[in-house]
Structure 1
Amino acid sequence: MNSKRILLCLCGLVPAVLLLVQCDKIPKFGEAGGTTVNDSGEQVRDIEATDFDSFTAIKGKLVVVDFHADWCGPCKTLGPKLKTISAEFGDDVVVGKINVDDAKNLASRLGVSGIPDVRLFRDGSQVDRFVGDIPGTLIRSKFQAQVTLLEMAEKRSEDPDAEAPAEEPIQRMNKDWMPEGLEKR
């Protein structure tokens, strides 16, 4: 009787083990070919070193590049924060992830010495950077500042006749003064 119970238990475990093996082969929800789509429709992309220049040159968006590694603990906690916060900004923010183990030459060229190293780009130019796992509120404020600047630039380009802020004329400084105790030669 004990042998029948053991046999029944083993038979019950075998399909579960096979199911676990098969589950690893099924793509996870929201994943397709290295691109993860979060709930808002915004994408967090794994990008290659060869695509870095074209990715950072995306016009009209805040482009965030996260240099990370699979073995890095802080990188694993920062990744979900970046995904969540970028979703809050919708289409204004695009996040790309570069594995430094796969892109050693690019990381060396850009001076990535510690990870996670996150860089923010607007129209191909780096505008901000932070290293390490920082609080979400700080990340959110960095994103907000850059998105606000993007919106201001977009408004200026849409309405070139809009009045620019009045600038005060530059006045020359009087250079004839001397500190006390010094005399003109």
Structure 2
Amino acid sequence: MPESTLSTDPFTLDVSSWLNSAPISIESLRGRVVVIEAFQMLCPGCISHGLPLAQRIHRTFDRDEVVVLGLHTVFEHHAVMGCDALEVFLSEYRIEFPVAIDRPIPGQAIPATMQRYGLRGTPSMLIIDRDGYLRDIAFGTVDELALGAYLGRLLAEPAAELVRAPAESVASDSAFCDIGGNCT
């Protein structure tokens, strides 16, 4: 898992459309922690781990505190994972939280948001703090206990009062634990 980061630029999604919701901007979610589950329909880890965890977060936390979004980010099997198939998939798996479709880039396999944030694959979980900044990216299975503790810490932070610093200085300035439970 990559080291936790505290981004100096607000997080943005570069998507082509939304399902289960009207379009959403991260800016409109300021004041809440945002959990984004990046997935593909044909990804076994997404179906067995990533999406079920995202659904539990969506059902467990107050939506005024934590918002869950899906990001369907297709980097393989493009022809079979279109919008119609995704709508059926979301219905079959009873996924009710908003799902964005990562914007494909003509001539490239890796879509826009996945490329911008260097996602290694799916499932990936991105955590955005109350001020709209990317705080962590986890690739693969996420430990639920560590994630709950991490979300609790982010919820305890006051919004708009955090001091922003480059990611490399955060790790060296203080003890910090990421959603994988790794502490520096």
Give TM-score, length-normalised by structure 2: 0.51
Give the Cα separation in 1 of the matches to 2:117 and 2:38. Answer: 11
| Structure 2 residue runs without a partner (length 5+) | 1-17, 75-100, 103-110, 162-184
Name the amino acid aligned to 1:55: I
Residue of structure 2 in register with 1:34 after alignment: 19
The yes-or-no answer on 1:89 pairing with 2:74 is: no
Residue of structure 2 in register with 1:124 after alignment: 132
The DSSP-based 3-state class of the residue aligned with 1:97 is strand
Structure possessing the higher radius of gyration over alpha carbons: 1
- If asked which structure has higher relative contact order (CA below 8 Å, sep 6+), I would say 2
Give the Cα separation in 1 of the matches to 2:124 and 2:27. Answer: 15
- Alpha carbons 1:65, 1:118 under 8 Å: kept: yes
User: How many aligned residue pairs are there?
Assistant: 108
For residues 53-84 of structure 1, the C-alpha deviation after alignment (integer angstroms, 9 at most, x for no partner) is x2266211001111111111111122121221
Alignment of 1:3-152 (within 5 A): 34-35=19-20, 54-55=25-26, 58-76=29-47, 77-90=49-62, 91-101=64-74, 102-103=101-102, 104-122=111-129, 123-149=131-157, 152=158
Give TM-score, length-normalised by structure 1: 0.50
| Structure 1 residue runs without a partner (length 5+) | 1-32, 36-44, 157-185
Higher helix proportion (structure 1 or 2) = 1
Q: CA RMSD in A?
A: 2.8
